[in-house]
Amino acid sequence: MDNPASQLGRTYLALSESRSWLMLHELAAEIRKRFDRLDSEAAISARLRDLRRHHGVRVESRRRGESAAHEYRLLHLARGKSQPDMLEALQ
């Protein structure tokens, strides 16, 4: 999941290392800056769903201000017996 050669990996890495909430276009800009890849907002949105549904990653979403646009962040939980390290579990 932390492979920058895949869209899923780039999305996970860019969002997991961010200290702030990011909108899809901001996340796309971060991916382009860090990995020199042009992932579309639609593709990033799909990868966020994949992280939630298939990889057990907690992605939070909220509206930004009064607009209909959403922003996202990863919720970093303290590891316990019931929560394995997702990077180790998927390798």
pLDDT in tens, 11-61: 999 999 999 999 999 999 999 999 999 999 999 999 999 999 998 899 999
Structural domain boundaries enclosing 42: 7-89
Does a structural domain hold residue 1?
no
Does a structural domain hold residue 2?
no
pTM of the prediction? Answer: 0.79
Q: What is the mean pLDDT of residues 76-83?
A: 50
Report pLDDT for 85: 52
> Whole-angstrom Cα distance, residue 38 to residue 32?
6
> Whole-angstrom Cα distance, residue 60 to residue 55?
14
CATH number of the domain residue 45 falls in: 1.10.10.10
Does a structural domain hold residue 34?
yes
Q: How many structural domains are present in the chain?
A: 1
Tokens 């316990």 found at: 80
Following CA atoms 30, 35, 41, 44 in sequence, which dihedral angle do they give, to the nearest 10 degrees? -100
Report pLDDT for 82: 44
